[in-house]
Structure 1
Amino acid sequence: GFWMFKEYFNLSIKETIRSWSLMETLVSVCGLIGVFILNYFL
């Protein structure tokens, strides 16, 4: 997915790494919050 993202948005490697790591961090944090919410209710 990384290389497809880079080519689709026509980014350099440096820009792609920066935006990809930010996106993955947000996905991870949202997933962790979701797990905590599920843990609270289950």
Structure 2
Amino acid sequence: YCRGVIDEPSIVLEPTHNKQSCVDEKEYHFLFKNMGEYIREH
């Protein structure tokens, strides 16, 4: 994990070859779920 600007942990996602998606879809969905929870709390 790295700490972002708003001090929310985030995962560094590796883009696919065409940069239209992420290599690991599970991590991508995990990140968006956590960011949604963080936004609801604040």
Rg: which structure is higher? 1
Classify the TM-score, shorter chain: 0.3 to 0.5
The structure that is strand-richer by fraction is: 2
Structure in which a larger fraction of residues adopt helix? 1
TM-score by length of 1: 0.46
TM norm structure 2: 0.46
